[in-house]
Structure 1
Amino acid sequence: MSLTAAAIDAAKAGEKDRKMFDTDGLFLLVTKKGQKWWRFKYRYQGKEKQISLGTYPEVTLAKAREERNDCRKLVAAGADPSALRKSKKVTATQAKTFRDVATNWISHHKPGTPGEGRDWSSSYATQVENRLERHVLKRIGHELFDTITPGRISAILDPLSPDIQHRIARDIYRVFAYGRIKEGYPDLSNPAADLVEVLKKRPKRKNFTAIIEPLQLGGLLRACDCYGGSFVVRMYLRLAVLFFQRPTELRLARWNEFDLESRTWTIPAARMKSGEPHIVPLADQAVALLEELRPVTRGKRNSLLFPGERKRGNTDERPISDATGTAALADMGYRDRQTVHGFRASARTMLDQEHHVPEKFIELQLDHLTKAPNGTAYDRTSFLPERREMMQLWADYLDRLKQMHLNAASKKSSAGALVVDRQDIAVGKASRPTAGRRNRRVKSGVSVVKPNQANAIQAGENETL
């Protein structure tokens, strides 16, 4: 006899559990506590089994019969309804969030992770990781990977600046591309595929400012030599001009990368944009500066050349920030006229125009992608003797520029022009000057070249410098 809603409502708890049967294996279990559970009884591979269909009245009699019929169809097809339900639960608990996939994507590229850092430097991996954490993962990191829509991503991007919008849109697109290939979502469409249609227009990329006029560069070099701030920062600026490597490559330099006997600095592949180790020959002047710096910062074999002043935890792991050099140049009156990265453009331009050094030697030393005549890339040891000669030529030339500027300043002074030079600043002073002293020095000027005559140019491209 089939059950009715009235009979189910009238059922009361007894001294023990009892069953109220419907038809085709469906029954209602009324517990001694008054709970009412739907059950479906069936036989699978000769064994009697049961599966729960929910509680009454949340699951009505009509709904329970629908569930029973669905289960009967599965049994008739040779499937076990209980086993299928368990499988779905396992799949649900194993479903990946956006954070799960994004983390695996970064791990695939980041050095020192299971993906073995396939094409990223450590610094770039950190940039991507921080960018996603700040703008994306805090918002949708907990959401299931296959439930994120284009509209959801667009809402995250809308408040951001154009440049950050484009960077994050590219990151999200690559996370979903990785998820489709590596994380088991081959049929998932990429919700970031059409975002370019709604992003703000990206501003034209600015180039790094750099001085390429010899006399003005001589004035800057003298200012760097006499910088009255931190001794470590002063050495960073002086070596940055001599090496003309990317700021991150120099900021994170450690003493175990330098061999002063063989006069080479070998930058690890993980820190290079090219992903290959890079050799920087050391001129005599560079070795002298390193010998001066070594007793100050070489605490242990792998210690940093340029440790930061703000110390937290393991101080050996905190270099000066990427803004330190920019701030120092601004203090000396070179804001918007010279950047640390711009020393690369200064060297590239002047080695070519003033000394006619073959371009391939310059580009190799800049770690730009260069090709041999047969079309293959030069390796890191290519033309090392020629590059060593070039680096010494550059260091000697910088010394001459400083002397040229000193001579010009002396002539201007003797002619009655007001010249305030930085040679009166104590070179050995290691503490950072007060804001008042710093401002007075900036206002006094750096060289005999007036600010409105500065020949700061936009040199090179942001992506390749």
Structure 2
Amino acid sequence: MATNKLNDNKIKRMIRNPPERDQWVSDGQGLSCKLTKGGTLAWYFRYRLGGRGTKEDKLPLGSYPGLSLAAARKLREQCREWLANNEDPRFKLNAEAQETLKPVTVRDALEYWLDNYAAHNRTNHEKHRRQLEVHIFPHIGKLPLNLADRRQWLTVLERISHSGSPVAAGYVLQMCKQALRYCDRRGYATSTALEGLTIPDVGKKQGKRDRVLTDAELGSLWRWLDNNGVQPYYRDLLRLITVFCARTQEVRLSTWDEWDFDARLWTVPEVNSKTGTRIVRPIPERAIPWLEEMRRSNEGPYLLGQLKKPEAVSQQGRTFYKRLKHREPWSLHSLRHTFITKNADLSAPPHVVELLAGHELSGVFAVYNRSQYLPEKLEVLNRWLDRLELLAEAPDNVIPASFNRTA
């Protein structure tokens, strides 16, 4: 079968001398043009899905000269390839046209990750969304993802860093890289613009948050809380983090239905846990009176009486060291480091402390051991409360000698 029967000169002569009525002219292998009596020419791919006995379909490809002869032949080869794979060229061409006309934008891709992954697997997904709405969407959100190159990504990420938030810039980079990889794995959209970039390229890593309060600082904090030195919301938040080694979000999001006063258990649901696993902590008897007082004072479902935004709580948490006149800064997260370190000094079993902290055990422990170690956890918490009370009773410059490693 003859192929490529036409050439540009022949097409131009046909247009200059149009026929008296519309006619079809073949270029071969399914590509034809329809020449009208008005002197216009349009390309079609003619094919049959079921062989010679089936109806012929005519798929419009475009008009000449907007679609050149060479471009029409390229489309013909694509259509023939689809046919060889038992795919209808009409549907495939329409799908590609839609993708070209309405490409996936940067915003589309990042929101796809937010809605389909982060919303179900990240307790702080709303924080992620707000960061993208502030730092990414206003600048490159409308760009087609495949046209957003590395230079454009770097411009917006460096803008975050230069505005005084280099740690946030690194955080947003890591988040966007994860989002784009998710989109690629799911076949939604593909971009490799961020591959190879690291946090130092756009900002800096968050410093280690390993500050541990001294015994004197811990004692002054516990006295301050017992003497109502701070508003009830933050008094109760600090007390719960300090006693239970809980994450801030576990307490901030906690509702009363998590607390079983009959069984003396606090169960953090998977959705509030950073690791996505349930955390069970026993409630020491000494904690019951102030928990019951909280329940009498706080209306509504939330343990702390209201749901504050994580940014507001975190910001407030960085001010307490000043109000206590501690010389070195510490954050709410520092209270968890303090619990873990001080209980190591008290010879508490490391695996029990790790479970209280909501950490996942590793190795064989993680595979075969499903025990919650509730009696052991309660023993660690009671011993920890003993230590806190002892520190609170001592003057700031006197460290109790008891409760050392061998006590």
Deviation of 1:41 after TM superposition, in Å, equals 7.0
SS where residue 295 of structure 1 aligns?
A: helix
1:321 alignment partner in structure 2: 313
1:154-178 CA distance string (max 9 Å, x none): 2222222232333233223323322
User: Tell me, what secondary structure is at the counterpart of 1:239?
Assistant: helix
Counterpart position of 1:87: 92
What is the distance in 2 between the residues matched to 1:244 and 1:74? Answer: 62
Cα deviation for residue 294 of structure 1 reads: 0.3
Q: Residue 210 of structure 1 corresponds to which residue in structure 2?
A: 212
Residue 6 of structure 2 is matched in structure 1 by: none
1:385 matched to which residue of 2?
375
Distance 1:172 1:330, change over 3 A: same
Q: CA deviation at 1:284?
A: 2.3
Q: 1:201 to 1:68 in 2, by over 3 A?
A: closer
- 1:322 Cα shift? 2.9
Residues of 2 paired with 1:194 and 1:271: CA distance?
A: 32
Q: CA deviation at 1:71?
A: 7.5
Change (3 A) 1:234 1:20: same
Residue 105 (structure 1) aligns with: 113
**CA offsets, 1:320-375, max 9 Å, x none?**
7333333455434347444322222222233332x332333222212233347x44
| Equivalence for 2:193 | 191
- Map 1:266-281; keep pairs closer than 5 Å: 266-281=267-282
2-structure distance, mates of 1:349, 1:92? 61
- Aligned partners of 2:248 and 2:333 also within 8 Å: yes
CA offset digits 1:285-336 (Å, max 9, x no partner)? 311111111012142xxx111244xxxxxxx686873333334554343474
Kept in 2, the 8 Å contact 1:297–1:305? The answer is: yes
- Partners of 1:93 and 1:274 in 2: CA distance: 40
Alignment partners' CA distance in 1, 2:314 and 2:275 = 20
Retained in 2: the 8 A contact 1:44–1:75? no
Whole-angstrom CA distance in 1 between matches of 2:252 and 2:147: 42
Aligned-residue sequence identity (percent) comes to 22
Q: Distance in 1 between matches of 2:197 and 2:338?
A: 38
Change (3 A) 1:326 1:70: closer
Residue 38 of structure 1, aligned match among 32, 41, 65: 41
Which position in structure 1 is the counterpart of 2:304? 306
Tell me: CA distance 1:147–1:356, structure 2 relative to 1, closer, same or farther (3 Å): same
1:164 matches 2:168: yes
> When the two structures are superposed, what TM-score results if normalisation uses the length of structure 2?
0.73
Deviation at 1:265, TM superposition (A): 0.8
Q: 2:132 aligns to what? A: 132
| TM superposition score normalised by structure 1 | 0.65
The alignment yields a C-alpha RMSD, in angstroms, of 4.1
Mind listing any 5+ residue stretches in structure 1 that lack a counterpart?
A: 12-17, 309-315, 406-446, 450-465
| Residue matched to 1:402 | 392
Q: Take 1:242 and 1:77, find their aligned partners in 2: how far apart are those partners?
A: 67
Range with bigger deviation, 22-31 or 256-265: 22-31
Match of 1:333 in 2: 325
Is residue 105–residue 145 contact of structure 2 (8 Å, CA) maintained in 1? Answer: yes
1:344 to 323, 329, 336: 336
For 2:184, the aligned partner's letter is R
Whether contact under 8 Å (1:40, 1:50) holds in the other structure is no
TM-superposed deviation, 1:244: 2.3
Matched, 1:361 2:389: no
Q: 1:378 Cα shift?
A: 7.6
Highest RCO, 1 vs 2 (Cα 8 Å, sep ≥ 6): 1
Secondary structure of the structure 1 residue equivalent to 2:281: strand
* Higher normalized helix content (fraction of residues): 2
Q: What whole-Å deviation, never above 9, does each CA across 1:410-446 have from its counterpart, x for those lacking one?
A: xxxxxxxxxxxxxxxxxxxxxxxxxxxxxxxxxxxxx
Contact 1:38 1:54 survives alignment (8 Å)? no
Aligned to 1:175: 179
Structure 2 spans left out of the alignment, 5+ residues:
1-9, 27-31, 399-407
Cα distance change on mapping 1:85 and 1:148 into 2, 3 Å = farther
- Equivalent positions of 1:273-292 (< 5 A) are 273-292=274-293
